Each structure stands twice: as C-alpha cells, then as structure tokens.
C-alpha cells in the first residue's frame, strides 16, 4: 500500500524491513528519495532467524538473480543453486527431480551476515536509507509504504536446524500424515541442515507432525 500526499523532498516512511520494505527502500533511494524504514524488531528477518527458503527460479526463463540485478537489487547473499532433488509421495514412491537450470536457489533468512535480509539491509544503508529498529510505525504523516508482512499465518514450518556433514541437497515428502495439506522437507546447505513440517492445517498437533517428519527422513 502506498500513500502519496506530500512534497517530493519529504522522506518516504516504510513500515517493515522485510524483503518487500527493503527492496522498496532501495528502489526509492536509487530514484533519489530520502527513505526511513521502521522495523518493529531489533534486527532484520526476526521471524525467520536461520531458516532456509527457496528463491524460486522455475516460472520464468529469466534467472531470478538476473531479475534482482535488473531491479537494482543486490545479490550479495548466499544462494545455493538447486538443480537435483528427491520427492516422495505418501506411498513412499520416489521421484528424482533433475533440471539443467536451477529450479530454485536455497537462501538463508534472518540477521546473519550472508542472508537475503542482511544483504538488502547493507545495500539500503549504503544508499543512505535510514533504518530504525525497535520502531513500530503506527501512523504515516506523509508518503509511506506498508510492507508489514502477513497479519496471520496461512502456513507454519516447524522443525529443527542442525549441523551436518551430508552433501548439499533437498528432499521433500508430500504426505498429510507428516504435513497436513503441505509438505515435509529436508534441506542441507554448506554443512547446515533443516528438517521441517510445513503444514497448512493441524497446527495444534504440530509436535506430532514434526516427530513423524523426523522419523520419516531418518
């Protein structure tokens, strides 16, 4: 949402230092606007601290990292290209996924140095964007963008992070007994792994689904 009713010299205020808010801040800074980003938490990527996410690369012919560059956004974050992986259905049938181009890039979220969030923060600050942490924006006096993320979760991903000497890779299981209406996954990147149940319902039984997910991958 953008509100626009003030002088072009006035700062644009942005609520939220997630990827949307920081990308908007960078774009505005490139266009010569003064920008202030407010972030409720003390750091970027707070709700995703240490999570791996997939930067999807399969829906367009143009590589997603090239799209970032075209948009003037940094790619100075860890992005592990994932071409091959393994998916199982609820009956245990195994499907090998192979692609010449990366299907997605595995990235890290949160405040650590090599995450998407930290890279966007560094770029924004280097362009003169002021980022105010521990600051919740409740009212916009002038131009502003609401980039506050979702109000409630449609889905949750619950599980564990761990260190591992496994080779990098990704594995997924589509089984309502492990992740209702979602998918269970195991991701390994650079000696760190994550095993999670990403469920779209059944949140009250999350412990059970996580336990089943861990057992299934073991």
Ligand X SMILES: Cc1cc2nc3c(=O)[nH]c(=O)nc-3n(C[C@H](O)[C@H](O)[C@H](O)COP(=O)(O)OP(=O)(O)OC[C@H]3O[C@@H](n4cnc5c(N)ncnc54)[C@H](O)[C@@H]3O)c2cc1C
- The site for ligand X (CB under 6 A) is made up of 15-21, 38-41, 46, 53-54, 56, 136-137, 147-149, 153, 155-157, 198
Residue 129 C-beta: closest distance to ligand X, Å: 14
Of 56, 43, 25, whose CA–CA distance to 120 is shortest?
A: 25
Per DSSP, which regions of the chain are E strands? 2-3, 12-15, 35-38, 52-56, 79-82, 85-88, 94-97, 104-108, 130-132, 144-146, 156-163, 169-173, 183-189, 192-199
Residue 91 C-beta: closest distance to ligand X, Å: 25
Which C-beta is closer to ligand X: that of 20 or that of 112? Answer: 20
Residue 199 C-beta: closest distance to ligand X, Å: 9
Residue nearest to ligand X (CB): 18
Which C-beta is closer to ligand X: that of 82 or that of 216? Answer: 82
Which C-beta is closer to ligand X: that of 62 or that of 165? Answer: 62
The string of DSSP codes covering 147-209 is ----SS-S-EEEEEEEE--SPSEEEEE--TTTSTTSEEEEEEETTEEEEEEEESS-GGGHHHH
Residue 30 C-beta: closest distance to ligand X, Å: 18
Question: What three-state secondary structure class fits 124?
Answer: helix
User: What would the two tokens of residue 202 be?
Assistant: 């059944």
Question: What three-state secondary structure class fits 57?
Answer: coil
Residue 162 C-beta: closest distance to ligand X, Å: 18
Residue 145 contacts residue 15 (beta carbons within 8 Å): yes
Residue 175 C-beta: closest distance to ligand X, Å: 18
Which C-beta is closer to ligand X: that of 8 or that of 203? Answer: 203
CA angle 110, 181, 199 (to 5 degrees): 30
Which C-beta is closer to ligand X: that of 18 or that of 180? Answer: 18
Residue 36 C-beta: closest distance to ligand X, Å: 11
Which C-beta is closer to ligand X: that of 98 or that of 139? Answer: 139
Residue 114 contacts residue 120 (beta carbons within 8 Å): no
Which C-beta is closer to ligand X: that of 149 or that of 191? Answer: 149
Of 39, 12, 52, whose CA–CA distance to 171 is shortest?
A: 52
């Amino acid at each position: 949402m953008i509100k626009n009713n003030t002088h072009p010299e006035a700062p644009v205020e942005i609520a939220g230092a997630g990827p949307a808010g920081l990308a908007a801040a960078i774009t505005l800074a490139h266009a010569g606007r003064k920008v202030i980003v407010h972030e409720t938490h003390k750091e970027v990527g707070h709700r995703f601290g240490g999570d791996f996410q997939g930067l999807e690369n399969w829906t367009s012919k143009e590589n997603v990292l090239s799209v970032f560059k075209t948009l003037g956004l940094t790619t100075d974050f860890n992005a592990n290209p994932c071409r091959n992986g393994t998916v199982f259905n609820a009956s245990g049938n195994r499907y090998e996924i192979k692609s010449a181009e990366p299907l997605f890039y595995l990235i890290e979220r949160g405040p650590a140095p090599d995450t998407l969030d930290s890279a966007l923060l560094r770029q924004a600050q280097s362009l003169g964007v002021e980022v105010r942490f521990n600051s919740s924006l409740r009212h916009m006096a002038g131009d502003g963008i609401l980039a506050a993320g979702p109000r409630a979760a449609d889905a949750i991903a619950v599980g564990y992070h761990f260190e591992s000497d496994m080779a990098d890779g990704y594995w997924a299981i589509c089984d309502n007994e492990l992740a209702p209406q979602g998918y269970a996954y195991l991701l390994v990147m650079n000696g760190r792994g994550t095993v999670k149940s990403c469920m779209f319902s059944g949140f009250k039984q999350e412990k059970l689904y996580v336990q089943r997910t861990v057992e299934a991958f073991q």
